[in-house]
Structure 1
Amino acid sequence: MLRPSAEVAQKIISVVKRKYKNVAESLACQFQYPTGKEGLQGGHYPEELIGLLPDDVTKWYCGVGNPLSLSKIVSGEKVLDLGCGAGIDAILAAKMVGSSGLSVGVDISEEMIKRAQSNKKISQTTNVLFQVVEVAALPFYDEQFDVVTTNAMLNLAVDKKRALKEAYRVLKKGGRLHVADQILVGSAMCSEQAMDCWFK
């Protein structure tokens, strides 16, 4: 995996943060795929799981798939959601692990973490935590989580190799990595103008 120059990396981070500052205010016209409850249903999240969340929370979903379906998440487990955005997957994971488990969501966008905190309060979910974190430098102990999940974060990560290395570091032995993402097929442009176009 090639890592962009420091200058390009900083531009990517700046564009991503600007994009998700806007997303934290409104999902309207931000994505070319279904979001909200329609996105959850399109991602084949079980209706009984979707039903655990108020409509004011489900409307903030903007993932590309259902990473929570890739293995059975059970009561008492600890789950880490990388690039948690508005916190929907992290909150759903908290519902799955129950009061004896824990879900943690991290994101580089302060605005998205604020939105996740609001969704935590609305959904009355107590066993989920959110914090602003760079995924390539996770502030967690080795082998701390049973499951690490991510929904459309890796395609935005500047240093994908380091992000994956960190994900595996914090996974317990025998733990599971759940990934839902999208890829670019064809030639890629690495200019600020091109990045602005990608995120419109």
Structure 2
Amino acid sequence: MNQSKIWDAYSKSYHNIEKNPAGFQFSLLNMLRVNEADEILDAGCAGGHLHQYILQQRKKDCRLTAFDFSLEMTKIAAARMIKYLNNPFNSQIEDISDQEIENVDLNSPLLEQNKYKVFQGDVQSLPQLNDNQFDIYISNLVLQLVANKDQALQEAFRVLKPGGKIGIVIPVVLGNVPMLSLQKCFIQAGLIPNAAYKPTELENREGLINFIYKHGFKEIVCWNQTIPFDLFDIDDNYIFPQFREILDKASKEQVDQFYSLYKSEVQNRLNLNLPFTVEALSLIAKKPL
């Protein structure tokens, strides 16, 4: 299955858990000062969980543009914003029906009137976007998934205005307790032979800072952050798409063994009065004038 189809299939589960990384995103948006921008780009927006917040914080005439590799994710983001914009004071944007998502118009006049645009796109090639267009480029939990990271940063640099800011969040594999716990249970159940996820060169401050410098950005600020995950019981929403594919092909015996191990892993964590936590490395930087 190709990557876009994997994330299409995972879109509704991701929609349910997307709130967890909000701690990273709120910190990033605060450091970027989104309230001062005229044009904001959310590159790899998933279901647009924080777009409501950005719309509330932005300047009156600021335009928010967003895209995702998965068409299903963009449809969720658009449906979510249409529901919010139709009734901003009494709207449960989480309660979006499958029909609303399936039938959503990505080019809805309501979205355009509110200076909001979402489309399917690839961070590695953005012919839809102009040079020097945006004040802020947001890359939240995206860059680690991209095949050609250099090309993605070149595109980010191109579409940012001189003096524009990029904001990046990279998950740290060795600090991702839910992922490590799932991986451990998969190995013990015989579903994978060994650790599938290794740290990348971007998961330490020096590596990430050097990578951003290499692509021409300046005035870099970088920090680590850890947040809790609301994982208190076995929940299929937290089985990431790469693992879901493996489970779908496994024998019933192996699947049952995995869920038994997973349940014990969750309970053992709770017995220690500890939440499942996720660590990320965040960074902001400027395109020189």
TM-score by length of 2: 0.47
Inter-partner Cα distance in structure 2 for 1:76 and 1:24: 29
Q: Does residue 212 of structure 2 align to residue 166 of structure 1? A: no
Determine the structure 1 residue equivalent to 2:58: 97
Number of residue pairs aligned between Structure 1 and Structure 2: 156
Matches of residues 65-80 of structure 1 in structure 2 within 5 Å? 66-75=27-36, 77-80=38-41
Determine the structure 2 residue equivalent to 1:147: 136
State the shift of 1:188 in Å.
3.9
The answer for unaligned runs of 5 or more in structure 1 is 1-10, 46-65, 190-194
> Structure 2 vs 1, CA of residues 44 and 118 (structure 1 numbering), >3 Å: closer, same or farther?
closer
One-letter amino acid of the counterpart of residue 112, structure 1: M
SS at match of 1:182: strand
Contact 1:113–1:130 (CA under 8 A) maintained in structure 2? yes
State the shift of 1:75 in Å.
4.8
Inter-partner Cα distance in structure 1 for 2:59 and 2:159: 21
The answer for unaligned runs of 5 or more in structure 2 is 86-110, 175-194, 200-240, 247-289
Determine the structure 1 residue equivalent to 2:211: none
Contact 1:17–1:109 (CA under 8 A) maintained in structure 2? yes
Inter-partner Cα distance in structure 2 for 1:152 and 1:39: 9
SS at match of 2:75: helix
Matches of residues 1-200 of structure 1 in structure 2 within 5 Å? 14=2, 16-27=3-14, 35-36=18-19, 39-40=21-22, 42-43=23-24, 45=26, 66-75=27-36, 77-124=38-85, 126-138=114-126, 139-184=128-173, 188=198, 196-197=242-243
One-letter amino acid of the counterpart of residue 34, structure 2: I
State the shift of 1:127 in Å.
2.3
One-letter amino acid of the counterpart of residue 54, structure 2: A
Determine the structure 2 residue equivalent to 1:61: none
> Structure 2 vs 1, CA of residues 90 and 199 (structure 1 numbering), >3 Å: closer, same or farther?
farther
SS at match of 1:99: coil
Quick check: which one's helix share is greater? 2
One-letter amino acid of the counterpart of residue 79, structure 1: I
> Structure 2 vs 1, CA of residues 129 and 74 (structure 1 numbering), >3 Å: closer, same or farther?
same
> Structure 2 vs 1, CA of residues 91 and 22 (structure 1 numbering), >3 Å: closer, same or farther?
same
Cα RMSD over matched residues? 2.9
Contact 2:24–2:169 (CA under 8 A) maintained in structure 1? no
TM-score by length of 1: 0.66
Inter-partner Cα distance in structure 2 for 1:140 and 1:149: 15
> Structure 2 vs 1, CA of residues 44 and 76 (structure 1 numbering), >3 Å: closer, same or farther?
closer
Contact 1:91–1:103 (CA under 8 A) maintained in structure 2? no
Inter-partner Cα distance in structure 2 for 1:166 and 1:199: 31
Contact 2:37–2:136 (CA under 8 A) maintained in structure 1? no
State the shift of 1:95 in Å.
2.5
Q: What percentage of aligned pairs have identical amino acids?
A: 22
Contact 1:75–1:96 (CA under 8 A) maintained in structure 2? no
